[in-house]
Amino acid sequence: MNRMFSLAAGFAAALSLMAGPAITAHAADYNGPKIKFRVAHTTPPGNHITLAFEKFKELVEQKSGGKIKVQVFPNAILGSDRVLMEGAQKGSLEMAVSSTPNMANFSPLYQVFDLPYITSPKNQEKLYKAIDSGKLGEYFTKVANSIGLEPIMYAEYGYRNFVTINRPVSKVEDLAGLKMRTTDSAVEVEVAKILKMNPTPVAWGETYTALQQGTVDGEGNTFPHMYGAKHHEVLKYAVTTAHNYGMQVMMANKAWWDKLPPEAQKVIREAAAEALAYQRATLYPKNEAEAREGFIKAGIKIVDLTDEQLDAFRKATRPVWDKFQDKFPPELVEMVLETQK
């Protein structure tokens, strides 16, 4: 069993043990008004993230006895992460989802998770607890509120690995000179520069074509996300760098959220918590294994790095921390690091 899947399965199992009985609200408990709202995201069909939002919709409608209806728009139907979140900010969309790197368009503080190796899969349960119900979550609620948003769910995204169309990678030096697709995150761009690659920001929906046409030589992303978008059709090599972690943050327009009756907010919060627990414990590990197997069947050669090889990547990317140390409040970095102890 490969390193990333075994760790994912391990922390998912631990989470399921920690979670305890699920919070449930029965249809009869909801006596509020009829409500309909939209959720839009960019994740492709079959991905664990997409399935998590489908579960969220199912639970909201079940818990409200059908009085609250959720319309989900997946696969970038309504636009990119940035376009969707701008819609949620303006109120033209009730809820939107964005990856944490792309939330940099709205607040640079979300880039703290892009710092290379600031988190590790082996400490995932601690990070979950901190972001779901701890000080880290409280911190980012204030950040979101300051930009007109209300966080509803920090869906699992996973750890990013480098993949290429033209060159196997097993050591830091192998990345030099590659045109690497990045998000808009300044930290992610700097990681590429430090590793002597040529960072090329490309919107997610345009990445397949960029790889196919050779506009970029590779990308850093999770196996499930790339597999769901059929990137395995054009990729040839992968390496399990697990160099940074991301979440898919579901945000509501704050003004809209604040106007909802408390009983509706309760149903939505409970549905989000249960869908999230299901995603982390079941959907994510399963999708990770399926995607890896799909890569192998497509002929992609996967290099699983040893601890010694991973240490070389950690050391090579550490200067990124030095460059951005003044960009993040010390207490924010410390809160994230506390989850790794």
Instruction: Please check whether residues 89 and 183 belong to one and the same domain.
Output: no
Q: Which residue has the higher pLDDT, 4 or 188?
A: 188
Instruction: Please check whether residues 131 and 171 belong to one and the same domain.
Output: no
* Average pLDDT of the residues in 183-211: 94
- Asked if residue 218 belongs to a domain, the reply is yes
Instruction: Please check whether residues 81 and 173 belong to one and the same domain.
Output: no
Specify the pTM.
Answer: 0.85
Instruction: Please check whether residues 138 and 214 belong to one and the same domain.
Output: no
Q: DSSP character for 71?
A: E
| Res 28: pLDDT | 53
- Asked if residue 183 belongs to a domain, the reply is yes
Q: DSSP character for 94?
A: S
Which structural domain range is residue 175 located in? 161-244+291-338
Instruction: Please check whether residues 215 and 314 belong to one and the same domain.
Output: yes
- Asked if residue 321 belongs to a domain, the reply is yes
3-class secondary structure, 143: helix
Contact by Cβ (8 Å): 41, 154: no
- Asked if residue 113 belongs to a domain, the reply is no
Contact by Cβ (8 Å): 163, 231: yes
Residues 34, 144, 26: CA angle, nearest 5 degrees: 30
Alpha carbon distance 154, 47 (integer Å): 16
User: Which are the contacts of 12, defined by CB distance < 8 A and separation ≥ 6?
Assistant: 280, 281, 282, 284, 285
Instruction: Please check whether residues 70 and 146 belong to one and the same domain.
Output: yes
Location of structure tokens 């590990």:
285
Q: Helices 124-133 and 135-146 meet at what angle, rounded to 10?
A: 50
Q: Which residue has the higher pLDDT, 339 or 183?
A: 339
* Average pLDDT of the residues in 61-82: 96
Instruction: Please check whether residues 44 and 171 belong to one and the same domain.
Output: no
* One-letter-per-residue 3-state SS of 164-230: ECCCCCCCHHHHCCCEEEECCCHHHHHHHHHCCCEEEECCHHHHHHHHHHCCCCEEEECHHHHHHCC
Instruction: Please check whether residues 299 and 264 belong to one and the same domain.
Output: no
- Among 234, 267, 229, residue whose Cα is nearest residue 31: 267
Instruction: Please check whether residues 238 and 201 belong to one and the same domain.
Output: yes
Instruction: Please check whether residues 184 and 320 belong to one and the same domain.
Output: yes
Q: What percent of the chain has pLDDT over 70?
A: 92
- Asked if residue 25 belongs to a domain, the reply is yes
| Domain CATH for 211 | 3.40.190.170
For the chain, give the mean pLDDT. 92
- Asked if residue 296 belongs to a domain, the reply is yes
Alpha carbon distance 121, 247 (integer Å): 13
- Asked if residue 234 belongs to a domain, the reply is yes
- Asked if residue 202 belongs to a domain, the reply is yes
Domain count, the chain: 2
Give whole-number Cα distances, 119 to 40, 113, 314, 333, 340, in Å: 28, 8, 11, 11, 6
| Res 205: pLDDT | 86
Instruction: Please check whether residues 187 and 92 belong to one and the same domain.
Output: no
Instruction: Please check whether residues 189 and 302 belong to one and the same domain.
Output: yes
pLDDT tens for 135-176 read: 999 999 999 999 999 999 999 999 999 999 999 999 999 999
Alpha carbon distance 206, 199 (integer Å): 15
